[in-house]
Amino acid sequence: MLKGKHALVTGSTSGIGLAMAKALAGQGANVMLNGFGDAGEIEQIRLGIEKEFGVKALYSGADLSKPDEIEEMMKMAADDFGGVDILINNAGIQYTALVEDFPVEKWDAIIAINLTSAYHTTRLALPHMKKQNWGRIVNTASAHGLVASPQKAAYVAAKHGIIGLTKVVALETAETGITANSICPGWVRTELVEKQIKARAEENNIPVEEAAKNLVSDKHPSKTFVTPEQIGQTAVFLCSPAADQMTGTSISVDGGWTAQ
C-alpha cells in the first residue's frame, strides 16, 4: 500500500516508534529511523528492516532537543529520499515530580523533545507535501494528551500541546491531500514505562510483575497493556486511503482509559 513512499519516524530505535517504522516498512514504505542507542544495535535494526521488508532504511542520530540537528535530519531526508511523505513525530521522554519540585531543565527537555521537535519537523516537511499534494503527519500523543495524572506536568502539557498543534496543521492543510492526526496510546510496556513500573515496585516493595499489573489496572478498564504493534497498525491505517478524510482527530488506543 505504501510502496514508493518515504517515512520519517522520530524516536524509532525502540518501543512504539520502532514498531511504527516496521509496520510502515511492512507496507513497502522506505523509512528513516531516528533516536538514541548503541550504534551497533541500531545498525542491526536498520539492516534487519531492509532485509525483512525489502525497503531502504536510513538512520539519523539527530538529537531532537536541538533545532539545528532537526534541520540536518530533514536535509538528509530531502537529499536521500527526495522529501518526507509520511512524518511520524514520536520521540518522547518522561520525568515525574510534583510541579514545585519539577527540575527546570527536565521541563525544558520534555517540551523540546515531546512538543517543539514536532513543530520543527512539520514546518520543514510541509513544503514537499504541499508540492505533491499528499502527505501524512501522525503525532504520537498519549492518553495524557486528553487527561492528566499527578506528577507529569511537563509531559501532560506537551501531549495536550501536540494535539493542539495537530489540529492547527489539519486545518491549514484541509483542502490538500495532507492529513494530520494524533494517536493517543494508553500504557504500552516500553522502556519509558518499564522505568515507572520499577519505581512502583520499589516504592511498594512488591515484585515487578505485580507492579506492572497494578499500573495498567489503575488506568485501563481492560487491565491489559497496549502493544507497540497495535500502535504501528493504527499508523498504517492513518496512512491508508480509508483515512483520507480523517484529519485533526485523536485516536485513543488505551484499553478504555479515557472512556471513563
Residue located via cell numbers 505485580: 210
Residues in 117-156 at the binding interface with ligand NAD, rule: CB under 6 A? 140, 142
Asked if 246 and 231 count as a contact pair (C-beta separation under 8 A), the reply is no
Pattern of binders to ligand NAD over 34-63, x per CB under 6 A?
A: xxxx-------------------------x
Contact range with ligand NAD by CB under 6 A, out of 12-20, 22-30, 76-84, 240-248: 12-20
Residues 6 or more apart whose CB falls under 8 angstroms from that of 3 comprise 27, 28, 29
Return the exposure string of 63-88: e unless at least 16 CB atoms fall within 10 Å of the residue's CB, then b. bbbeeebbeebbebbbeebebbbbbb
Length of the chain: 260
Residue 143's alpha-carbon distances to 16, 36, 204, in angstroms, are 14, 24, 25
Give the range of 33-41, 126-134, 171-179, 197-205 binding ligand NAD by CB under 6 A. 33-41
The interface with ligand NAD within residues 68-107 (CB under 6 A) comprises 90-93
Cell numbers 516508534 correspond to 17
113 contributes a contact to ligand NAD by CB under 6 A: yes
Q: Looking at 77, 188, 201, 235, which residue binds ligand NAD (CB under 6 A)?
A: 188
59, 95, 119, 155: the catalytic one is: 155
CB-wise, 176 or 193, nearer to ligand NAD?
Answer: 193
**Catalytic site residue 155?**
yes
> Is residue 17 within the footprint of ligand NAD (CB under 6 A)?
yes
Q: In degrees to the nearest 10, what's the CA dihedral of 222, 225, 229, 230?
A: 20
For residue 30, with 0-12 CB atoms within 10 Å meaning exposed, 13-18 middle and 19 or more buried, which class applies? buried
Min. distance of Cβ 132 from ligand NAD in angstroms?
26
By rule CB under 6 A, what count of residues binds ligand NAD?
Answer: 29
> Which three cell numbers mark 26?
511492512
Q: Indicate the residue among 1 and 47 with the shorter CB distance to ligand NAD.
A: 47
| Catalytic (active-site) positions | 155
Residues that bind ligand NAD (CB under 6 A): 11-17, 34-37, 63-65, 90-93, 113-114, 140, 142, 185, 187-188, 190-193
